[in-house]
Structures are given as structure tokens and as C-alpha cells.
Amino acid sequence: MDAQGRGRADDIDPADQWVLNPSTGEYELRLTPSVPQSSVPGPRRAASRAGAASRAAGTKAGGAGGAVRNGTVAPETRPAPGREVPPQRRRRGAPEEPPPGRRGRRPAKKKSKAKKAVLWTGGIMAFVVVAAATGAYLYIEHLNSNIQSVSDDGASTGGFSKDKAINILLIGTDKRTGAGNDKYGDSGSAGHADTTILLHVSKDRSNATALSIPRDLIVDIPDCPTTQEDGSQKVIPGETGQRFNKSLGQEGRTPSCTARTVTELTGIKPDNFMVADFNAVKTLTTAVGGVEVCLGKDIDDPDSHLNLTKGEHVIEGEQALAFVRTRHSVGLGGDLSRIGLQQQFLSALMRKLKSNDTLTSPTKMIKLAEAGTKALTVDSQLDSIDKLKDLGLELGKLNTKNLTFTTVPVIDNPAEKVKVTVVLNPTTAPQVFEAIQNDVSFTEVKQQKKKEAAAVAARLKGTKSDASEVRVRILNGGAVAGSASSTLTWLQTEEGVTKSENAGNAPATLAKTTLEYAPDQADQARRLAAIMGLSGSAMKPGKSVTNSQGLPTMTLTLGKDFKGAGVSLTAPTKAPDVEKSTADKVECAK
């Protein structure tokens, strides 16, 4: 932060305040010695060298730039010959300074709450603040050195995009590394996928869904190509019918294997993943000064070490870790009940991160930068402050009232006499996955978005031509080989769309199946959409082309979502009715 940012040097060029210290070989911020200088964060190695030089000169820590004794500057801060500090320059166009004794402080401009909210970066606000400060390069390098990363092994999309929906996999491991964590038992554990959340942020950033995946859910773990510690590659064989938490730590599986398992389970490929251990919960909550949670009853859990009375509490550190680990004392005493506590905790943390109390505190923001970079392990596509900052800026556009927490719908495992594990609810789980795949919000969002959805749905309303009048050419734009041919046969023999033809492969691959048509072909388009089970969003008003006979025709392009001839492609426009909560409300756990 430059001097002007401190409110001390209204018209001083910040570049003039950084001079070379001959004792350390580093450039340092030099303010006038009349006012104490706040410490500037930097790498420990730089600080240790400066401290050694100070002790060697036999000085005490002084004000701005060094100690002042009897009106003289201590040796370690006196400029070397030929390196005198030039007088501070006045910025171009700035008024002259008033005479001594008449200098006043410029009134500070108040920022609106709206502008402060825009600065929010999803927990990485500190990186932006520090990056904008003069001479902060060394501190950025320090934060970069804090970041630990592991190979994504091709399990992610390669990174989020600013103009698309974002899917981030958050993996909480029960690995007991870190000070004081061995007291929780199982100290030699390699760590499991203990708490896993798939965070989906909508394309327009108006809403998000945090989908919790139960650790005791029975899944199929796919083969996992994995980068070993020595850099070599090894494929860890997959297993069927295993608990989800075995996707990490067991048989040498890394977080990339958990990401592959999530894709296998949900059909959603994460853009990036992050891993947090016990220390992350403790350090992040301490950095923000605690988060507010609520209990519907007294809890004294000897297993998690949580001892809290009924009502609201502000928790941090060890107590926060105990809160997210508690399961025997809430609900039915299982992992599903604990998931509710964890969702409440994350909602509280989100609210605290977005509060003015945090956003306006440089101390908290610096603590968050340190805690966040040390506590999280990220994939190799997200391994720098710049990348984390960009992700934070996208997440910061969210309103907490439109951040929904829900859990993969499950039922007790019917194969067990003593119910310990769960399996997917065959009815509602696919609906939840499909809603997220199609960027459907689980909360009510902007009125404008509703109007846009209504306009898209209106494309299906109106008169429909007879099937015999529908003229269409079919292209394969990402569906399995032979899809265009089988669809043509199905349309002609079973649906009566005889004026159709196979036009081969599309020039580009599409994620979604589309039907492009001219305005005068809308009746035909509605009939084909009804036959194919196409949604309004799949219908693309545009222009017609000519078929092999030179006649105007519509274009049906089968995308990656095509499931086979006769299988409806109607995407959900409304999320299924499942148990959920939003991040803007405090709900008491029972």
C-alpha cells in the first residue's frame, strides 16, 4: 500500500518513496521520519535479512525507515554516497503544498456499500488489495510460494472460463496432519474424501448450487491415471460398489481420482478442484474473526470435542473444526446429519467473508491471504495468485440469497440389513444432476431471467405442421457414431417425417442438440421439437438452407447430449423439489 493509500502523502509520487537500502540490497518504502511507518508485508527471507542488519548496527527498531537518535539517522538507513534520496516530487497538475504548520488532510471519500461489495473476490479479496499496492511484487511471490498444487491428471476441464458456467470441486479430507490434529485419532490415515461439495456457478453468475456428496454413498470409482511423487504415471484400477470416500487416499488415489469419480457419478466434469484439511477450517475461521452458527439444542460430543449450548454462537479455530466434525449429536447421528452442519458452517463463512466487517479490514484481508494460500491445495490448473484472484472475482458476483446448498438425493442401501451406506435415489438424483448440467437455478432469481426463460419456452407454443410436411437435414455434431443415420431411419419409418436426409458430420462439435429454422418454418420446427422432445432452448430461429434436392430445409444437429433416437431431449426448466437451504439465512441445527 503506498503512502497516499495511508492518507499521509496526498500529492507524493509513490515511486519516489522506494529507495535502495545498501545494508540489505532491497528496495524499501521510505516515508518522512516524523511519523511511524506501518510494516509492509513481505517474504520472511527479506524480513530476516533486514532484521540481521539492524542488530549488527546495534540499533532499535525506529520509525519510518530506521531509528532516529539525537536528530541523526541510524547508520543502516543513511543513504550511501551517490545514492541520496531525491526530494519527493509533486504529481503533475497537483497544487503546491501549504507552508509548514498549515498542511491539512484531504477529506476521505466514502465508498458506497455497493462498490465495496463489487470488490469481494470470494475469499481471495486480499490478493487483489495486495496486488494493487506499490512494490507488492515480493509479497505476491511470497503468496505464490505458499500455494500447494497437485496434478489434475486430465480429470478437470483445464480451468474455468469467465463466459461459461463454473464447476468447482471442493474436497475436505480427514487427514490428521497439522499441529494438534493427531488428538482426533487415526493419525496415520492417508486421508479420505470426507466432505465433498460440487459448486456450480451459473453462466450469468446470478445463482449457484453447492451439491454435497455423502461420503458413504456407494459409487463406481473409475480407473485413475495418476501422477506419482517421482513424476511417473500410474493407472490405479477402478472399483465398483465402493464408498465414495475411498476415491481419495486409498490405493494411492489423489484428488484427481475424486474428480473422475464425481464426473462418473453426476455427468459433470469439474473445471478445477481444491482440497482442504483440518487446518483450513481452523485458520480460515480465525482469520475472519469467527463465524456465526446456531444449534437447536445443547451439544456435548466427546468424539468431535464440541461442547456448545442451544442458540447462536460465534466459533473459530478448534471449536469450528469440532462443529463441522460433529455427527453423533445431531439429527439421526450419521453422515447425512453432519452434512447439514457443514452446509450451515459454509453459509456462515460466506456471509462473514462478504460482510463489511471483513471487506474493510486490511488486517483480516492479509490474514485471509496467508491462511487461504497455506490451507488449500489446488489442482495444477489453478496454481497461482492470479488464477485464484480471477476465480474469486467470478465467485464474488454471487448474492448469498441465490446460493443454494443441497445434497445428492439418496436412499438406504437395500443390500444391507444394518443400514450403514446409501445409494442414489433413482428418481430424484438424476433430476438434480440434469438441472445442474442445464444451468437451472435452485432459487428464484432475477425477473429478467424469468422473462427470458418464458420467451424461450414460447418457441414451442403455436400451430404445428403435419409430420409429412417437415423437411429437415440431420448432422452429427458430437453424438455417438451412427446417430444421424439411426435418427433418420426412426423419423422416416416410425414418425412419418419422410422429407428428411442424413447430411453427415457437422463442421463443429456441440454440447447440446439444436434445431435451426427460418421464421416461415416455425410450424415445422414445433412439430419436429414435439417428436424429438426438444426444449425451447434447443430451437434456434435463424435461416434455412437447401437440401440435396435444392429445397429449403431446417437443420437438426445432434450434440453430445443426444441419447438415442426416440429418447426425449427436453431439458429441465425448473429444479426438482429437494431439501435445500440458502446461504443468506441462519438455520439452527437440531
Residues in the chain with pLDDT values less than 50:
1-16, 31-86, 90, 92-95, 97-135, 176, 178, 180-189, 447
Nearest CA-CA partner of 527 in 562, 556, 557, 565: 556
Nearest CA-CA partner of 524 in 489, 500, 490, 549: 500
13 and 82, same domain (yes or no): yes
Cα gap 228→249, rounded to integer Å: 13
* CATH code, domain with 380: 3.40.630.190
Phi, psi torsion values for 349, nearest 5 degrees: -65, -40
Give the model's pLDDT for residue 355.
Answer: 80
Give the model's pLDDT for residue 451.
Answer: 59
Say if residues 214 and 407 touch (Cβ distance below 8 Å). Answer: yes
Phi, psi torsion values for 229, nearest 5 degrees: -60, -30
Cα gap 520→34, rounded to integer Å: 80
376 and 244, same domain (yes or no): yes
Give the model's pLDDT for residue 231.
Answer: 85
Q: What angle do CA 570, 571, 572 make, to 5 degrees?
A: 120
In a domain, 45, yes or no: yes
428 and 338, same domain (yes or no): yes
Query: Where among 445, 471, 497 does a domain terminate?
Result: 445
Owning domain of residue 72: 4-94
Give the model's pLDDT for residue 544.
Answer: 83
Give the model's pLDDT for residue 25.
Answer: 54
- Cell numbers given for 223: 480407473
Cα gap 579→572, rounded to integer Å: 18
In a domain, 244, yes or no: yes
3-state secondary structure 452-479: HHHHHHHHHCCCCCCHHHCEEEEEECCC
Give the model's pLDDT for residue 51.
Answer: 43
In a domain, 214, yes or no: yes
AA identity, residue 73: V
Give the model's pLDDT for residue 556.
Answer: 95
Nearest CA-CA partner of 199 in 405, 443, 434, 423: 405
Give the model's pLDDT for residue 477.
Answer: 94
- Cell numbers given for 389: 484472484
264 and 374, same domain (yes or no): yes
User: Residue 73: enclosing H or E segment and its boundaries?
Assistant: strand 72-73
Give the model's pLDDT for residue 247.
Answer: 95
358 and 469, same domain (yes or no): no
236 and 283, same domain (yes or no): yes
147 and 240, same domain (yes or no): yes
- Cell numbers given for 239: 472399483
DSSP code string of 201-239? E-TTSS-EEEEEE-TTBEEEEPPEEEE-TTS-EEEEPPE
| Cβ atoms within 10 Å, residue 80 | 10
435 and 476, same domain (yes or no): no
In a domain, 549, yes or no: yes
How many domains does the chain contain in total?
Answer: 3
168 and 85, same domain (yes or no): no
269 and 409, same domain (yes or no): yes
Maximum C-alpha span of the chain: 102
* CATH code, domain with 534: 3.30.70
In a domain, 376, yes or no: yes
Cα gap 64→205, rounded to integer Å: 45
Give the model's pLDDT for residue 248.
Answer: 92
Rg, C-alpha atoms of the chain = 30
AA identity, residue 314: V
388 and 255, same domain (yes or no): yes
Give the model's pLDDT for residue 425.
Answer: 95
In a domain, 148, yes or no: yes
283 and 152, same domain (yes or no): yes
In a domain, 186, yes or no: yes
Nearest CA-CA partner of 169 in 152, 148, 186, 146: 152
In a domain, 324, yes or no: no
Cα gap 486→489, rounded to integer Å: 5
DSSP state of 66: B
